[in-house]
Homo-oligomer: A and B are copies of this chain.
Amino acid sequence: ELHVPLEVCGAVVKRELDFWQIEELQIKACCWRHYRSYIENQRILNSFNKSLEHEQRKIDLSNLKGWRLLQMKLWLIMDHPRTSKLAMLYGIASFLFVAASIAGFCLETLPELRPKISQNRTLASCNGDTKQLHVVMASNEALNALDFICTVFFTLELVMRFLVSPWKLKFVRNPMNIIDLLALVPLYVQVIFEQSDLQSCYMNERFVIEIMFILRIFRMFRIFHLVKHYQALKVLVYALRASLQELMMLFIFLLIAMLIFATMIYYAERTASEEAGTKFTTIPIGFWWAIITMTTVGYGDVAPSTPIGYIVGTACAVCGVLLVALTFPVISNNFTLFYEHVRSRSLVKFAIFTTETDRRSTECKV
């Protein structure tokens, strides 16, 4: 029987085993967990460190001249708020614009701030016949102005950042930049349409309006610019990526339980349905109910009302509580590991809007 001393970490034991050419699978089940946990943690933390270092390429500004030097300096200021005081100030200003844009976006939807000028403009359409254009997107004056200013700023910023970026291809591929671009489209489309005669042709089309609406949502995703400033978000992203297998497991467990309970509640409430008393008219409604019950949210918009339905509901609620209890320790493991590692190693700052002052490196890390 091969047991492992608990006073040294698994990596030391592994080196010893490798030296004596003993296979690690001969370690007994009782010691296996201690042995592997250190090696597992090391593996995950190494890949995490590599990801962080991948972002922290060292840039040597000394052998750059003229435009290249200026470009690099501007790039550091615009894209890496932690490299200098100026970069941080620019970062704060940029983030304030994002916040203002989002605030305007949210306030726009308040009925108090929306002047209801529902004028029906009759316009000569491109087909020659006149059409009634119902202006639904009437907005507040101040919010419109704010929106305009923000759009101008974001346009300039995006163009500037593209120009100063040393790696154009990487810039184009970055999902954040694509979101920034898409978030700019709606206003420009609106401007173009309002100026041109084409408005009447496309503006009334259901499809165009739909896409315009969806593009407006991208404005909200600008909030992810915060990742640059708040590095705990990076830890979250890496932890979720490292726990992909565990998350998949949770989702599949939830999916299977959802299918089973939705079917059961649909049949359990069938008789009540015939008497028009239930809301479980279809199985997909049952999906919604099962998820909301298993996550213990429980809105109560759909709820069982027959004795058999109560039994299915009880099973669903207890099952949800169990699923959560079983899978949580497994899922939260990686996040706790990353967070503690990163915090104790000071690799990442958890405060917002700070510049990195790393005594261990004289070169600027990006």
Say yes or no: A295-B320 contact (C-beta < 8 A), given A214-B267, A220-B263, A301-B303.
yes
Task: Please tell me the number of chain A residues within 8 Å of chain B, measured between CB atoms.
Answer: 115
Closest partner residue, chain B, to A46 (CB atom): B29
Q: Does A75 contact B (CB under 8 A)?
A: no
Is A10's CB within 8 Å of the partner chain B?
yes
- Minimum CB–CB distance from A94 to chain B (whole Å) comes to 17
Cross-interface CB contact of A317 among B297, B310, B317, B330, cutoff 8 Å = B297
Which residues in window 200-236 of A have CB below 8 A to B?
A: 213-214, 216-217, 220-221, 223-224, 226, 230, 232-233, 236
CA distance A21 to B321 in the complex (A): 45
B259 touches A220 (CB 8 A): yes
Chain A residues at the B interface, C-beta cutoff of 8 Å: 1, 3-12, 15, 25, 28-34, 36-42, 45-46, 49, 102, 105-106, 109-111, 213-214, 216-217, 220-221, 223-224, 226, 230, 232-233, 236, 239, 245, 247-249, 251-254, 256, 259-260, 262-264, 266-267, 270, 281-284, 287-288, 291-293, 295-301, 303, 305, 307, 310, 313-314, 317-318, 320-322, 324-332, 335-337, 339-341, 344-345, 350-352, 360
Q: A110-B282, A216-B267, A221-B260 are in contact. List 12 more A-B contacts (CB 8 A).
A: A9-B30, A33-B341, A40-B344, A105-B263, A106-B284, A111-B282, A233-B253, A295-B318, A296-B297, A298-B299, A322-B331, A326-B335
